[in-house]
Structure formats: structure tokens, C-alpha cells
Amino acid sequence: MSHRKFSAPRHGSMGFYPKKRSSRHRGKVKAFPKDDPAKPVHLTAFLAYKAGMTHVVREADRPGSKVNKKEIVEPVTILEAPPMMVVGVVGYIETPHGLRSLITVWAEHLSEDCRRRFYKNWYIFSKKKAFTKASKKWQDELGRKSIEKDFAKLIKYCKVIRVVAHTQ
């Protein structure tokens, strides 16, 4: 009588395997949709956090079903999306091996929250001057001309243009 599942069922769901620490705190977009040149320019993703769940009562619109035009209760997820700031623009060119970044233009002001993401240990490296050269370009006339040249290069040569953004 080998019915082990009755006397000693397994403990816990296999849906939560493998039980290990996640590799990153924030989620990562693994695949963006393919670029369609026919569509207008738009951002394809934004960052949001799951804040909770609730339910809504709504009228079903399912022709041919018993519940058509009747009120049903459905679960919904509540997402919190913090405001996003664009801090840079990256232009990519196509090579035989795939996309390669050609030019990156950074914004004039990068907040401390953004800059601390570029350092592993902000407490020690907070005195470092990350992006000071990029912000100085915006100050004088010569730097502004070089930025305009970079934007002209972006428009002329780059096949794919993406933005670098961070949450506020």
C-alpha cells in the first residue's frame, strides 16, 4: 500500500521553487517589444511597484456567455508608479554583431538619488565627482556646441535611440 501522499504529503508548494535569494531587488525587463517604425515615437516601459490587491464589481461584456451584461466581481492589482526623470539619451548603431552605443548625452542636473546608483558604496564614494564633467558641458558656449553636435550625430547616424531614466 504505497500511498505516501496521504500519510506524508509534501510540505509547501513547488510553485515557489527554487527557494533562493533573488539576484536583484528591482525587477528587470527581460525583453522589450520589437521596434515598429510605423508607430510614433514612445516609451515602451515604466517602473511600477505592486502596492496591493483589491476587487472591483463591473459589468461583464462577454457575448455568448451566461454572465454577459451581468455584474461580476474581479480581482485587480494596485500599482504605484513613481515619477520618472529622463537623465540621458543613448544612440545605437547597427553592426554585424548587433547594436553598439555610439553617443550618450547626459542631462545637466542629475540628482543625488540617481548618482548614488552608479556607486557600489555611496557612503565612501559620496565625495567623488561623478558626472561633473558632463554637467560642465552645459555651462559654457563651447560645451553647448559639442552637445548640439552630439544630438546632430544621434539624428544622422543612429538607428535606435533610447533614454536613460530614473525614478524620483
Q: Count Cβ neighbours within 10 Å for each residue of 66-98 and write b for 16 or more, e otherwise.
A: eeeeeeeeeeeeeeeeeeebebbbbbbeeeeee
> Would 64 be classed as within a structural domain?
yes
pLDDT per residue as tens, the chain (168 positions): 567 777 778 888 998 888 888 888 877 888 888 888 898 988 888 888 899 999 999 999 999 999 999 999 999 999 999 999 999 999 999 999 999 999 999 998 888 888 888 888 878 776 777 788 888 888 989 999 999 999 999 999 999 899 999 888
Kindly report the CATH number assigned to the domain that includes residue 138.
Answer: 3.30.1430
Quick one: pLDDT at residue 2?
A: 65
- The pLDDT assigned to 142 comes to 92
Q: Is residue 132 domain-resident?
A: yes
In a domain, 57, yes or no: yes
Q: What are phi and psi of 157, to 5 degrees?
A: -105, -30
Domain residue limits at 120: 39-167
In this prediction the pTM is 0.69
Query: Based on the structure, what is the number of domains in the chain?
Result: 1
| 116 assigned to some structural domain | yes
Residue 17 lies in a domain: no
Identify the CA nearest to 43 among candidates 160, 163, 150. 163
